[in-house]
C-alpha cells in the first residue's frame, strides 16, 4: 500500500533529527507502517508548506491561525503530482537477511556488497572485480598490493553524515572502472545503507530515473538495502540538483535500458 504521511511542518532536512529522536510521533508512525510492508512517503514541509502552495486542495481555511490548525481536520481533497515534494524512507530489514547476504550484481560492471565480500579475495577474483569503492572510514583496503584498485569514501552511517558531498567523486571512480571494462565492488560494513546510497546516486546521475525508481531498482537487485533517513533526504536533494541542472546528468546509453525495468 502507498501511504503519504505528513505532520505540521517537518521538512526533508528535519528528517535527520527525526531519525535521531526515536521517540517522536513521526518516527513511530513511519516505523510501524514500514514494518507492515507499506510504501511510505513523507510530505516535505508538512501541512503548513502544502497549504501555502495548494490552498485549494485543503479543507481548512488559511484564515485560521496556523498554530491552531488541527491536522486531523485537514486533509487533501484530491491526488496531485508530488514528485518534487516527497521523501521515500525504506523498508525495515531483518538481521539474519543482512548476515546471509553476498555481493549483489546491480549492473553488469557494478556489485554492491559488504565488508566480508571486500575481504574475500577469491570471491573478488571469481567475479572479476578489480576496483573497490570502500564507503567506510575504518574497513581496511585489504588487497591494494595485489592488483585491486581502491578508493575510500570516509563516511559513517549516521544522521550527521554528509554523504552527498562525495557523490560526484564516487561516480567518477565507478565510471573509471566502467570505461576500463572493469568491474567494481561498492561496499560499506553491511552493504545496506552507505554503499546502497552511492549506488542509487550513480543511477540518478546516468539515467532519467526518479529517485524512488532508482531505489526500487537497486532494492530489486539487493533486497536488504535500507539507506538511513538522512541519506534518503540527500538523494532527494541530489535528484533535485540534477533536475535543476545544478549537477548535470551524464546519460549513458548502456544504462538507459534499466529505466523501463522498474
**232/192 same-domain check:** yes
Statement to judge: residues 157 and 236 lie in one domain: yes
For 122, the domain range is 95-261
Q: Are residues 52 and 136 in the same domain?
A: no
Confidence label for 181 from pLDDT (cuts 50, 70 and 90): very high
- Grid cell 576496483 — which residue? 131
My answer on whether 22 and 107 are in the same domain is no
CATH number for the domain that contains residue 236: 3.90.190.10
Q: Is 129 in the same domain as 77?
A: no
Q: Per-residue pLDDT tens for 29-46?
A: 666 566 556 667 777 777
State how far Cα 88 lies from the chain centre. 8
Across 95-99, 131-135, 173-177, 202-206, least confident range: 95-99
- Are both 66 and 144 inside the same structural domain? no
Q: Same domain for 193 and 256? A: yes
Q: Is 188 among the residues known to form the active site?
A: yes
Beta strand pairing call for 110-113 and 104-107: antiparallel
Asked if 81 and 101 sit in the same domain, the reply is: no
Final residue in a domain of this structure, among 47, 63, 87: 87
Phi, psi of 35 (to 5 degrees): -65, -30
Q: What is the mean pLDDT of residues 112-131?
A: 96
Rounded average pLDDT over 185-206: 97
pLDDT, position 68: 39
Q: Which of 16, 11, 3 is nearest to 231 (CA)?
A: 16
Domain-ending residue, one of 87, 107, 125 = 87
* Together in a domain, 130 and 62: no
Q: Which of 58, 72, 74, 188 is catalytic?
A: 188
pLDDT interval class at 17 (50, 70, 90): low
Are 81 and 151 contained in the same domain?
Answer: no
Which of 87, 104, 121 terminates a domain? The answer is 87
Please tell me whether residues 239 and 109 are part of one structural domain: yes
- The chain-wide mean pLDDT, for the chain, equals 79
This model's pTM is above 0.85: no
Q: Report yes or no: 182 and 130 within 8 Å, Cβ to Cβ.
A: yes
Residues 192, 233 within the same domain: yes
Convert 21-52 to b/e letters by CB count within 10 Å (16 or more is b): eeebebbeebeebbeeeebbbbbbbbbbbbbe
The pairs formed by 115-123 with CB atoms below 8 angstroms and a separation of 24 or more are 115/139, 115/187, 115/188, 115/189, 115/190, 117/185, 117/187, 117/191, 118/142, 118/185, 118/187, 121/146
pLDDT at 43: 79
Provide the domain count of the chain.
Answer: 2
Amino acid at each position: 500500500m502507498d501511504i503519504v504521511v505528513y505532520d505540521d511542518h517537518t521538512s526533508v532536512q528535519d528528517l535527520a533529527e527525526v531519525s535521531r529522536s526515536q521517540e517522536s510521533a513521526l518516527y513511530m508512525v513511519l516505523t510501524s507502517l514500514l514494518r507492515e510492508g507499506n510504501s511510505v512517503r513523507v510530505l516535505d514541509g508538512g501541512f503548513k508548506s502544502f497549504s501555502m502552495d495548494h490552498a485549494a486542495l485543503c479543507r481548512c481555511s488559511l484564515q485560521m491561525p496556523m498554530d491552531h490548525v488541527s491536522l486531523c481536520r485537514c486533509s487533501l481533497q484530491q491526488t496531485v503530482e508530488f514528485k518534487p515534494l516527497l521523501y521515500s524512507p525504506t523498508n525495515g530489514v531483518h538481521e539474519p537477511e543482512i548476515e546471509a547476504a553476498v555481493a549483489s550484481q546491480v549492473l553488469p560492471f557494478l556489485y554492491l556488497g559488504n565488508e566480508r565480500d571486500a575481504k574475500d579475495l577469491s570471491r573478488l577474483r571469481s567475479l572479476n572485480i578489480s576496483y573497490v569503492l570502500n564507503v567506510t572510514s575504518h574497513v581496511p583496503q585489504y588487497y591494494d598490493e595485489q592488483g585491486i584498485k581502491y578508493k575510500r569514501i570516509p563516511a559513517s552511517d549516521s544522521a550527521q553524515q554528509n554523504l552527498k558531498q562525495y557523490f560526484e567523486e564516487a561516480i567518477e571512480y565507478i565510471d573509471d572502472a566502467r570505461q576500463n571494462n572493469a568491474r567494481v565492488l561498492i561496499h560499506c560494513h553491511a552493504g545496506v545503507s552507505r554503499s546502497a546510497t552511492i549506488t542509487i546516486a550513480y543511477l540518478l546521475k546516468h539515467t532519467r530515473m526518479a529517485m524512488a525508481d532508482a531505489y526500487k531498482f537497486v532494492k530489486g537487485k539487493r533486497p536488504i538495502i535500507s539507506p538511513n533517513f538522512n541519506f534518503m533526504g540527500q538523494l532527494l536533494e541530489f535528484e533535485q540538483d540534477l533536475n535543476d541542472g545544478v549537477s548535470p546528468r551524464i546519460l549513458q546509453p548502456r544504462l538507459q535500458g534499466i529505466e523501463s525495468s522498474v
